[in-house]
Chain A
Amino acid sequence: DPKIIQKPKYLVAVTGSEKILICEQYLGHNAMYWYRQSAKKPLEFMFSYSYQKLMDNQTASSRFQPQSSKKNHLDLQITALKPDDSATYFCASSQVRGDTQYFGPGTRLLVL
């Protein structure tokens, strides 16, 4: 059974629209993360949460907003989508912040 679920697996959006990427982990971890991977940047750290609190934010744009409704959920809301946002978005988790990270399968986003 998958321990980290990301939905959807693939997503096509139009420029200017808004999407939410879902991440749920069933590892009992206390820290969760979002990363972005594209041809330009192999693995770009975006956010980290620890015990549902935002710890690090490396994303310059406020169009990207993480949302943690439950301890094992960390969704990513992206507003005013641009073609440049096209990438694979990985959610990850670790027992505690800084520990070994386990990555989800990713959501591949294409913005047209």
Chain B
Amino acid sequence: GDSVTQTEGLVTLTKGLPVMLNCTYQTTYSPFLFWYVQHLNEAPKLLLKSSTDNKRTEHQGFYATLHKSSSSFHLQKSSVQLSDSALYFCALRTGGYKVVFGSGTRLLVSP
């Protein structure tokens, strides 16, 4: 069935370093992916969503590229800030327009 895999449960980094949070998916339908971010004691909110194959989408310094060849939509940022510490969810829109969320990756940025 349709699924999303986020391999890292926790990523810890020092501020200023680059980050990549992994997201791979499985679907038999045309994929449409989202990244949601949830800060502590807040609700999840959309960070960015996919465009066409191999096209990069960006928002607030984060970027991701949908690669259908590798079924991936990894989230990246060139220089993380303390305020980026949060829980990040990758989500897949499947056939029938159901959305499946990954298990989440917690990013902790230290000074």
Could you tell me the dominant secondary structure of chain B's interface residues? strand
A104 to B49 Cα, complex, angstroms: 20
Count of CB-CB pairs between chains A and B under 8 Å = 42
Give the segment of B17-25, B60-68, B69-77, B97-105 that binds chain A.
B97-105
Tell me whether B43 and A96 are in contact (CB under 8 A): no
A55 CA to B96 CA, complexed, in Å = 9
Q: What chain A residues lie within 8 Å of B38 (beta carbons)?
A: 43
For A97, the chain B residues whose CB sits under 8 A away are 97-98
Least CB distance, A33 to chain B, in whole angstroms: 8
**B73 → A minimal CB distance (Å):** 15
Interface size on B, residues (CB 8 A): 21
B46 touches which of A43, A48, A100, A105 (Cβ 8 Å) = A100
A15 CB to nearest B CB, Å: 26
Q: A56-B98, A98-B99, A101-B99 are in contact. Are A43 and B93 (CB under 8 A)?
A: no
Q: Give me the interface of A with B, judged by CB distance under 8 Å.
A: 42-43, 45, 48, 55-56, 90, 96-98, 100-106
